Protein backbone atom coordinates (compact mmCIF):
# COMPACT_ATOMS: atom_id res chain seq x y z
CA UNK A 1 0.00 0.00 0.00
CA UNK A 2 1.30 3.40 -0.73
CA UNK A 3 0.45 6.71 0.80
CA UNK A 4 -2.53 7.58 -1.35
CA UNK A 5 -4.22 4.28 -0.51
CA UNK A 6 -3.69 4.82 3.20
CA UNK A 7 -5.00 8.34 2.80
CA UNK A 8 -8.09 7.04 1.04
CA UNK A 9 -8.77 4.54 3.80
CA UNK A 10 -8.22 7.13 6.50
CA UNK A 11 -10.59 9.54 4.78
CA UNK A 12 -13.35 6.96 4.26
CA UNK A 13 -16.37 8.42 6.12
CA UNK A 14 -16.70 5.58 8.65
CA UNK A 15 -12.99 5.33 9.35
CA UNK A 16 -12.73 9.09 9.51
CA UNK A 17 -15.53 9.21 12.07
CA UNK A 18 -13.87 6.55 14.19
CA UNK A 19 -10.45 8.10 14.41
CA UNK A 20 -11.64 11.68 14.80
CA UNK A 21 -13.98 10.54 17.56
CA UNK A 22 -11.18 8.68 19.29
CA UNK A 23 -8.95 11.74 19.05
CA UNK A 24 -11.72 13.93 20.46
CA UNK A 25 -12.42 11.48 23.28
CA UNK A 26 -8.76 11.32 24.24
CA UNK A 27 -8.33 15.07 24.03
CA UNK A 28 -11.46 15.87 26.02
CA UNK A 29 -10.73 13.25 28.68
CA UNK A 30 -7.21 14.58 29.00
CA UNK A 31 -8.41 18.13 29.44
CA UNK A 32 -11.18 17.19 31.85
CA UNK A 33 -9.05 14.94 34.04
CA UNK A 34 -6.37 17.62 34.20
CA UNK A 35 -9.06 20.13 35.04
CA UNK A 36 -10.37 17.81 37.77
CA UNK A 37 -7.07 17.67 39.60
CA UNK A 38 -6.62 21.41 39.36
CA UNK A 39 -10.19 22.01 40.48
CA UNK A 40 -9.32 20.11 43.63
CA UNK A 41 -6.26 22.30 44.01
CA UNK A 42 -8.34 25.43 43.38
CA UNK A 43 -10.90 24.25 45.87
CA UNK A 44 -8.25 23.94 48.55
CA UNK A 45 -6.55 27.19 47.68
CA UNK A 46 -9.72 29.26 47.36
CA UNK A 47 -11.24 27.83 50.53
CA UNK A 48 -8.02 28.64 52.32
CA UNK A 49 -7.98 32.20 51.04
CA UNK A 50 -11.60 32.70 52.01
CA UNK A 51 -10.81 31.46 55.49
CA UNK A 52 -7.68 33.64 55.80
CA UNK A 53 -5.32 30.72 55.43
CA UNK A 54 -2.72 29.99 52.77
CA UNK A 55 -3.63 26.48 51.67
CA UNK A 56 -1.28 24.06 49.93
CA UNK A 57 1.70 26.14 48.79
CA UNK A 58 4.65 23.83 49.34
CA UNK A 59 4.81 21.38 46.45
CA UNK A 60 6.17 23.33 43.54
CA UNK A 61 5.64 27.05 42.96
CA UNK A 62 2.51 28.10 44.84
CA UNK A 63 1.76 24.41 45.42
CA UNK A 64 0.94 23.83 41.77
CA UNK A 65 2.32 20.28 41.79
CA UNK A 66 0.16 19.34 44.77
CA UNK A 67 -2.43 17.42 42.69
CA UNK A 68 0.29 15.07 41.44
CA UNK A 69 1.53 14.49 44.96
CA UNK A 70 -2.05 13.82 46.05
CA UNK A 71 -2.49 11.31 43.25
CA UNK A 72 0.68 9.50 44.28
CA UNK A 73 -0.45 9.39 47.86
CA UNK A 74 -3.82 7.95 46.93
CA UNK A 75 -2.35 5.33 44.62
CA UNK A 76 0.20 4.19 47.18
CA UNK A 77 -2.32 3.78 49.98
CA UNK A 78 -3.77 0.45 50.96
CA UNK A 79 -7.11 -0.34 49.39
CA UNK A 80 -8.81 -1.44 52.55
CA UNK A 81 -12.08 -3.30 52.50
CA UNK A 82 -13.83 -3.35 55.85
CA UNK A 83 -15.38 -6.55 57.16
CA UNK A 84 -19.05 -7.14 56.49
CA UNK A 85 -19.35 -5.12 53.30
CA UNK A 86 -21.33 -6.34 50.35
CA UNK A 87 -18.30 -6.95 48.19
CA UNK A 88 -19.83 -6.69 44.75
CA UNK A 89 -21.65 -3.41 45.31
CA UNK A 90 -18.87 -2.02 47.42
CA UNK A 91 -16.58 -2.65 44.50
CA UNK A 92 -18.68 -1.21 41.69
CA UNK A 93 -20.08 1.82 43.53
CA UNK A 94 -17.07 4.12 42.95
CA UNK A 95 -17.08 3.25 39.26
CA UNK A 96 -20.79 3.95 39.08
CA UNK A 97 -20.26 7.44 40.40
CA UNK A 98 -17.35 8.17 38.06
CA UNK A 99 -18.72 6.82 34.77
CA UNK A 100 -21.90 8.92 34.43
CA UNK A 101 -19.95 12.11 34.96
CA UNK A 102 -17.64 11.18 32.11
CA UNK A 103 -20.48 10.00 29.89
CA UNK A 104 -22.20 13.38 30.09
CA UNK A 105 -19.17 14.91 28.41
CA UNK A 106 -19.97 12.95 25.26
CA UNK A 107 -22.77 15.27 24.17
CA UNK A 108 -21.23 18.59 25.19
CA UNK A 109 -20.14 20.77 22.29
CA UNK A 110 -16.84 21.97 23.69
CA UNK A 111 -15.78 23.92 20.62
CA UNK A 112 -16.97 24.95 17.19
CA UNK A 113 -15.07 23.09 14.50
CA UNK A 114 -11.48 22.19 13.77
CA UNK A 115 -10.86 21.74 10.02
CA UNK A 116 -14.55 21.10 9.58
CA UNK A 117 -14.78 18.44 12.28
CA UNK A 118 -17.40 19.48 14.84
CA UNK A 119 -15.99 19.59 18.33
CA UNK A 120 -18.56 17.38 19.96
CA UNK A 121 -18.12 13.66 20.46
CA UNK A 122 -21.75 12.78 19.83
CA UNK A 123 -24.01 15.50 18.46
CA UNK A 124 -27.12 13.46 19.08
CA UNK A 125 -30.61 14.94 18.90
CA UNK A 126 -31.58 13.85 22.40
CA UNK A 127 -28.60 15.68 23.89
CA UNK A 128 -30.24 17.14 26.95
CA UNK A 129 -32.26 14.03 27.69
CA UNK A 130 -29.02 12.08 27.59
CA UNK A 131 -27.48 14.48 30.08
CA UNK A 132 -30.35 14.09 32.51
CA UNK A 133 -30.67 10.35 32.05
CA UNK A 134 -27.00 9.64 32.56
CA UNK A 135 -26.18 12.18 35.23
CA UNK A 136 -28.95 11.00 37.52
CA UNK A 137 -27.39 7.52 37.36
CA UNK A 138 -24.57 8.97 39.44
CA UNK A 139 -26.88 8.78 42.42
CA UNK A 140 -26.75 4.98 42.24
CA UNK A 141 -23.04 5.05 42.94
CA UNK A 142 -23.67 7.05 46.10
CA UNK A 143 -26.67 5.04 47.28
CA UNK A 144 -24.95 1.72 46.63
CA UNK A 145 -21.77 2.87 48.34
CA UNK A 146 -23.79 3.93 51.36
CA UNK A 147 -25.70 0.71 51.48
CA UNK A 148 -22.87 -1.70 50.72
CA UNK A 149 -20.35 -0.24 53.18
CA UNK A 150 -22.15 -1.63 56.20
CA UNK A 151 -21.59 1.56 58.15
CA UNK A 152 -24.14 3.82 59.74
CA UNK A 153 -22.58 6.99 58.45
CA UNK A 154 -22.36 5.77 54.89
CA UNK A 155 -25.88 4.47 55.10
CA UNK A 156 -27.24 7.82 56.25
CA UNK A 157 -25.32 9.49 53.43
CA UNK A 158 -26.81 7.13 50.90
CA UNK A 159 -30.34 7.63 52.20
CA UNK A 160 -29.92 11.37 52.17
CA UNK A 161 -28.66 11.25 48.64
CA UNK A 162 -31.64 9.31 47.36
CA UNK A 163 -34.15 11.57 49.04
CA UNK A 164 -32.24 14.61 47.89
CA UNK A 165 -32.48 13.33 44.35
CA UNK A 166 -36.25 13.09 44.35
CA UNK A 167 -36.52 16.66 45.55
CA UNK A 168 -34.34 18.37 42.97
CA UNK A 169 -34.49 16.19 39.85
CA UNK A 170 -37.98 17.43 39.17
CA UNK A 171 -37.10 21.09 39.15
CA UNK A 172 -33.90 20.29 37.31
CA UNK A 173 -35.81 18.76 34.44
CA UNK A 174 -38.64 21.26 34.41
CA UNK A 175 -36.43 24.32 34.63
CA UNK A 176 -34.83 23.76 31.23
CA UNK A 177 -38.09 23.26 29.36
CA UNK A 178 -38.37 27.02 28.64
CA UNK A 179 -35.02 26.77 26.90
CA UNK A 180 -36.33 24.15 24.51
CA UNK A 181 -39.53 26.08 23.96
CA UNK A 182 -37.46 29.04 22.87
CA UNK A 183 -34.80 27.22 20.91
CA UNK A 184 -36.94 24.38 19.62
CA UNK A 185 -34.40 21.56 19.80
CA UNK A 186 -32.78 19.24 22.31
CA UNK A 187 -29.59 18.99 20.31
CA UNK A 188 -26.88 20.73 22.30
CA UNK A 189 -24.71 21.90 19.37
CA UNK A 190 -27.80 23.45 17.78
CA UNK A 191 -28.70 25.18 21.03
CA UNK A 192 -25.25 26.76 20.95
CA UNK A 193 -25.67 27.76 17.30
CA UNK A 194 -28.99 29.38 18.16
CA UNK A 195 -27.23 31.40 20.86
CA UNK A 196 -24.48 32.38 18.47
CA UNK A 197 -27.13 33.82 16.17
CA UNK A 198 -29.58 35.28 18.68
CA UNK A 199 -27.46 36.00 21.72
CA UNK A 200 -26.96 34.06 24.89
CA UNK A 201 -30.15 32.92 26.53
CA UNK A 202 -29.56 34.86 29.72
CA UNK A 203 -28.57 38.09 27.98
CA UNK A 204 -31.53 40.42 27.33
CA UNK A 205 -29.56 42.71 25.01
CA UNK A 206 -27.37 41.51 22.24
CA UNK A 207 -25.34 43.25 19.53
CA UNK A 208 -26.67 41.47 16.49
CA UNK A 209 -24.68 41.46 13.32
CA UNK A 210 -21.81 43.39 14.87
CA UNK A 211 -18.85 42.57 12.71
CA UNK A 212 -15.24 43.39 13.45
CA UNK A 213 -14.32 43.28 9.77
CA UNK A 214 -16.86 45.96 8.94
CA UNK A 215 -15.67 48.01 11.89
CA UNK A 216 -12.12 47.83 10.57
CA UNK A 217 -13.27 49.25 7.25
CA UNK A 218 -15.01 52.15 8.88
CA UNK A 219 -13.50 52.90 12.30
CA UNK A 220 -15.15 56.29 12.55
CA UNK A 221 -18.66 54.85 12.58
CA UNK A 222 -18.02 52.59 15.56
CA UNK A 223 -20.58 54.18 17.82
CA UNK A 224 -23.38 54.10 15.26
CA UNK A 225 -22.56 50.51 14.52
CA UNK A 226 -22.81 49.55 18.18
CA UNK A 227 -26.16 51.28 18.52
CA UNK A 228 -27.45 49.80 15.30
CA UNK A 229 -26.38 46.29 16.24
CA UNK A 230 -28.04 46.51 19.63
CA UNK A 231 -31.17 47.84 17.98
CA UNK A 232 -31.10 44.99 15.51
CA UNK A 233 -30.70 42.47 18.30
CA UNK A 234 -33.59 43.92 20.29
CA UNK A 235 -37.13 42.69 20.26
CA UNK A 236 -39.93 42.91 22.79
CA UNK A 237 -40.32 39.16 22.79
CA UNK A 238 -36.69 38.71 23.66
CA UNK A 239 -36.85 41.17 26.51
CA UNK A 240 -39.95 39.51 27.93
CA UNK A 241 -38.50 36.04 27.44
CA UNK A 242 -35.48 37.09 29.44
CA UNK A 243 -37.56 36.95 32.64
CA UNK A 244 -38.50 33.26 32.48
CA UNK A 245 -35.14 32.33 31.05
CA UNK A 246 -33.32 34.03 33.87
CA UNK A 247 -35.59 32.32 36.39
CA UNK A 248 -34.95 28.98 34.82
CA UNK A 249 -31.23 29.71 34.86
CA UNK A 250 -31.40 30.30 38.60
CA UNK A 251 -33.48 27.20 39.26
CA UNK A 252 -31.26 25.11 37.04
CA UNK A 253 -28.11 26.41 38.69
CA UNK A 254 -29.40 25.66 42.17
CA UNK A 255 -30.57 22.21 41.10
CA UNK A 256 -27.18 21.54 39.57
CA UNK A 257 -25.60 22.33 42.92
CA UNK A 258 -27.80 19.65 44.43
CA UNK A 259 -27.16 17.25 41.57
CA UNK A 260 -23.41 17.46 42.05
CA UNK A 261 -23.66 17.25 45.85
CA UNK A 262 -22.02 20.59 46.33
CA UNK A 263 -22.56 22.76 49.35
CA UNK A 264 -25.10 24.03 50.34
CA UNK A 265 -26.62 20.70 49.32
CA UNK A 266 -23.80 18.36 50.24
CA UNK A 267 -26.04 16.39 52.55
CA UNK A 268 -24.75 12.95 51.53
CA UNK A 269 -21.22 13.97 52.46
CA UNK A 270 -21.80 16.34 55.35
CA UNK A 271 -18.38 15.88 56.86
CA UNK A 272 -19.41 17.59 60.09
CA UNK A 273 -22.26 15.18 60.69
CA UNK A 274 -21.51 11.96 58.85
CA UNK A 275 -17.69 11.76 58.90
CA UNK A 276 -17.53 11.61 55.10
CA UNK A 277 -20.99 10.29 54.31
CA UNK A 278 -21.20 7.70 51.61
CA UNK A 279 -17.47 7.30 51.10
CA UNK A 280 -16.53 6.99 54.77
CA UNK A 281 -15.42 3.36 54.35
CA UNK A 282 -13.46 3.85 51.15
CA UNK A 283 -9.75 4.27 50.90
CA UNK A 284 -7.09 4.56 48.23
CA UNK A 285 -8.38 4.38 44.65
CA UNK A 286 -11.98 3.74 45.67
CA UNK A 287 -11.99 7.03 47.49
CA UNK A 288 -10.08 8.67 44.66
CA UNK A 289 -12.71 7.54 42.17
CA UNK A 290 -15.47 9.08 44.24
CA UNK A 291 -13.46 12.23 44.50
CA UNK A 292 -12.73 12.34 40.78
CA UNK A 293 -16.35 11.49 40.03
CA UNK A 294 -17.57 14.37 42.15
CA UNK A 295 -15.33 16.88 40.45
CA UNK A 296 -15.83 15.43 36.98
CA UNK A 297 -19.57 15.75 37.60
CA UNK A 298 -19.01 19.37 38.56
CA UNK A 299 -17.18 20.00 35.33
CA UNK A 300 -19.78 18.20 33.26
CA UNK A 301 -22.57 20.11 35.00
CA UNK A 302 -20.80 23.42 34.43
CA UNK A 303 -20.43 22.42 30.80
CA UNK A 304 -24.17 21.83 30.57
CA UNK A 305 -24.97 25.20 32.14
CA UNK A 306 -22.53 26.95 29.85
CA UNK A 307 -24.01 25.21 26.82
CA UNK A 308 -27.62 25.84 27.71
CA UNK A 309 -27.51 29.38 29.04
CA UNK A 310 -24.13 31.00 28.60
CA UNK A 311 -23.59 30.56 24.89
CA UNK A 312 -21.39 27.48 24.92
CA UNK A 313 -18.14 28.08 23.09
CA UNK A 314 -19.27 31.40 21.64
CA UNK A 315 -18.13 34.81 22.66
CA UNK A 316 -19.49 37.93 21.02
CA UNK A 317 -17.25 39.09 18.17
CA UNK A 318 -15.15 35.92 18.19
CA UNK A 319 -15.62 34.00 14.93
CA UNK A 320 -15.92 30.21 14.85
CA UNK A 321 -13.79 27.54 13.21
CA UNK A 322 -15.02 28.36 9.71
CA UNK A 323 -13.38 31.79 9.75
CA UNK A 324 -11.01 32.64 6.92
CA UNK A 325 -8.77 35.26 8.45
CA UNK A 326 -6.98 35.74 11.73
CA UNK A 327 -7.11 39.46 12.63
CA UNK A 328 -6.61 40.09 8.91
CA UNK A 329 -2.99 38.92 9.13
CA UNK A 330 -1.89 38.12 5.59
CA UNK A 331 0.71 35.47 6.47
CA UNK A 332 -1.88 33.27 8.19
CA UNK A 333 -3.49 31.03 5.57
CA UNK A 334 -7.24 30.51 5.64
CA UNK A 335 -7.20 26.98 7.02
CA UNK A 336 -4.80 27.93 9.80
CA UNK A 337 -7.02 30.86 10.76
CA UNK A 338 -9.94 28.46 11.10
CA UNK A 339 -7.87 26.14 13.30
CA UNK A 340 -6.69 29.02 15.47
CA UNK A 341 -10.22 30.31 15.97
CA UNK A 342 -11.34 26.74 16.64
CA UNK A 343 -8.83 26.54 19.47
CA UNK A 344 -9.93 29.94 20.72
CA UNK A 345 -13.50 28.60 20.85
CA UNK A 346 -12.41 25.58 22.85
CA UNK A 347 -10.53 27.91 25.17
CA UNK A 348 -13.61 30.08 25.56
CA UNK A 349 -15.73 27.08 26.48
CA UNK A 350 -13.30 25.90 29.12
CA UNK A 351 -12.80 29.45 30.33
CA UNK A 352 -16.51 29.70 31.01
CA UNK A 353 -16.51 26.28 32.66
CA UNK A 354 -13.63 27.30 34.91
CA UNK A 355 -15.40 30.52 35.85
CA UNK A 356 -18.46 28.50 36.85
CA UNK A 357 -16.33 26.04 38.78
CA UNK A 358 -14.77 28.89 40.71
CA UNK A 359 -18.24 30.21 41.40
CA UNK A 360 -19.27 26.79 42.74
CA UNK A 361 -16.24 26.73 45.00
CA UNK A 362 -16.96 30.26 46.15
CA UNK A 363 -20.53 29.33 47.03
CA UNK A 364 -19.43 26.20 48.84
CA UNK A 365 -17.28 28.15 51.23
CA UNK A 366 -19.94 30.78 51.83
CA UNK A 367 -23.26 29.10 52.35
CA UNK A 368 -24.02 26.82 55.28
CA UNK A 369 -25.52 23.44 54.54
CA UNK A 370 -29.27 23.15 54.17
CA UNK A 371 -31.11 20.93 56.57
CA UNK A 372 -32.76 17.84 55.21
CA UNK A 373 -36.32 19.13 55.39
CA UNK A 374 -35.32 22.57 54.16
CA UNK A 375 -33.95 21.08 50.98
CA UNK A 376 -37.10 19.08 50.41
CA UNK A 377 -39.21 22.14 51.03
CA UNK A 378 -37.12 24.19 48.67
CA UNK A 379 -37.35 21.55 45.97
CA UNK A 380 -41.02 20.68 46.30
CA UNK A 381 -42.69 23.87 47.50
CA UNK A 382 -40.61 26.44 45.76
CA UNK A 383 -38.58 25.40 42.76
CA UNK A 384 -41.09 22.89 41.45
CA UNK A 385 -43.83 25.53 41.33
CA UNK A 386 -41.46 28.14 40.03
CA UNK A 387 -40.39 25.90 37.18
CA UNK A 388 -43.99 25.10 36.26
CA UNK A 389 -44.96 28.77 36.36
CA UNK A 390 -41.94 29.51 34.26
CA UNK A 391 -43.05 27.14 31.53
CA UNK A 392 -46.45 28.81 31.49
CA UNK A 393 -44.88 32.25 31.34
CA UNK A 394 -42.64 31.27 28.46
CA UNK A 395 -45.56 29.80 26.56
CA UNK A 396 -47.62 32.96 27.07
CA UNK A 397 -44.82 35.19 25.88
CA UNK A 398 -44.16 33.00 22.87
CA UNK A 399 -47.82 32.99 21.88
CA UNK A 400 -48.87 36.55 22.56
CA UNK A 401 -45.73 38.56 21.85
CA UNK A 402 -44.57 37.97 18.30
Partner 1 sequence: MAIVVKRAKLSLLEKLYFPALIGGLLITIRHFKNMFFGKTKVTMQYPEERWDEHLPPHYRGAPTLVTDEVGRERCVACQLCEFICPSRAITIHPEEIPAHEKWGKVEKRPKTFEIDMVRCIYCGMCQEVCPEQAIFLRKDYLVIGYSRKEMVHDKARLYELGGVMDGLVLKWNEKK
Q: How many CB atoms lie within 10 A of CB 279?
A: 29
8 binds partner 1 (CB under 8 A): no
> How is residue 118 annotated by DSSP?
E
CB of 253 to partner 1, least distance (A): 12
Q: To the nearest whole angstrom, how small is the minimum distance from the Cβ of residue 173 to partner 1?
A: 22
What is the smallest separation between the CB atom of 386 and partner 1, expressed in angstroms? 12
Please name which of 244, 242, 258 lies closest in space to residue 363, comparing C-alpha atoms. Answer: 258
Task: Please choose, out of 47-55, 73-81, 188-196, 291-299, the segment that lies near partner 1 by the rule CB under 8 A.
Answer: 47-55
Closest approach of partner 1 to the CB of residue 142, in Å: 26
Residues, the chain, total? 402
Rg (CA), the chain: 23
Cβ 46 to partner 1, closest distance in Å? 7
Could you say which of 332, 363, 386, 391 contacts partner 1 (CB under 8 A)?
Answer: 363
In the complex, minimum distance from the CB of residue 270 to partner 1, in angstroms, rounded to a whole number: 19
Among 52, 78, 217, 373, binds partner 1 (CB under 8 A): 52
Closer Cβ to partner 1, 8 or 366, answer by number: 366
From 12, 53, 125, 385, residue interacting with partner 1 (rule: CB under 8 A): 53
CB 252 within 8 A of CB 169: no
| Interface stretch with partner 1, choices 44-52, 209-217, 289-297, 330-338 (CB under 8 A) | 44-52
Binding partner 1 (rule: CB under 8 A), the pick from 32, 36, 46, 304 is 46
Shortest distance, position 160 Cβ to partner 1, whole Å: 21
Residue 2 interacts with partner 1 (CB under 8 A): yes or no: no
H or E element at residue 117 = strand 117-118
Instruction: Select from 54, 68, 317, 401 the one that contacts partner 1 (CB under 8 A).
Output: 54
SS3 (DSSP) at 113: strand
| Residue 294 phi, psi (nearest 5) | -65, -45
Distances (CA, A) of 170 to 5, 161, 210, 213: 54, 15, 39, 46
- Mapped onto helix, strand or coil, the DSSP state of residue 114 is strand
117: β partners: 114
Alpha carbon dihedral 22, 27, 29, 34, in 10-degree steps, equals 160
Rounded Cα distance between 231 and 238, Å, is 12
Q: Which of residues 365-384 bind partner 1 (CB under 8 A)?
A: 365-367
Binding site for partner 1 (CB under 8 A): 46, 48-54, 362-363, 365-367
Amino acid sequence: MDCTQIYQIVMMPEVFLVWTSLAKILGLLGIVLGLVSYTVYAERRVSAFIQDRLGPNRVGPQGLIQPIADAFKLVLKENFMPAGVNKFFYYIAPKLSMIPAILVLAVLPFGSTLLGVPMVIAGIDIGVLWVFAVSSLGVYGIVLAGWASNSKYSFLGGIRSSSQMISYELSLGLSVIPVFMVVGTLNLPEIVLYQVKNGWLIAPFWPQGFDLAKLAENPGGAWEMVVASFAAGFSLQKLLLWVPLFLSFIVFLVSIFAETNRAPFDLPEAEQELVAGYHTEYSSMGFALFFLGEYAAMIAASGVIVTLFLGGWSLPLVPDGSAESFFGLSFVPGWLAGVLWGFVNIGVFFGKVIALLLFMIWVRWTVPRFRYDQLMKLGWYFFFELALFNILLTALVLIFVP
